[in-house]
Amino acid sequence: MSSSKLHLRVADSYLPIRDDSTQKCTSSQKPDNFVSASGQRYNLTDMEDGQMEELISFAKNHTAAEDLPEIYQQFEIVETAVEGSETT
Q: What is the pLDDT of residues 3-28, one digit of tens each?
A: 445 555 544 444 555 555 566 667 77
Inside any domain, residue 86:
no
Indicate the pTM of the whole model.
0.60
In a domain, 11, yes or no: yes
Mean pLDDT score of the chain, rounded to an integer?
75
Range of the structural domain that residue 48 is part of: 7-19+29-77
Residue 48 lies in a domain: yes
**Is residue 59 a part of any domain in this protein?**
yes
> What domain count does the chain have?
1
Domain membership of residue 82 (yes or no) is no
Report whether 51 contacts 30 (CB < 8 A).
no
Q: What's the rounded mean pLDDT across residues 16-42? A: 74
- Residue 71 falls within a domain, yes or no? yes
Q: Are 37 and 25 in contact (CB under 8 A)?
A: no
Which long-range contacts does 14-18 make (Cβ < 8 Å, 24+ apart)?
17/56
Task: Give the pLDDT confidence score for residue 83 in this predicted structure.
Answer: 64
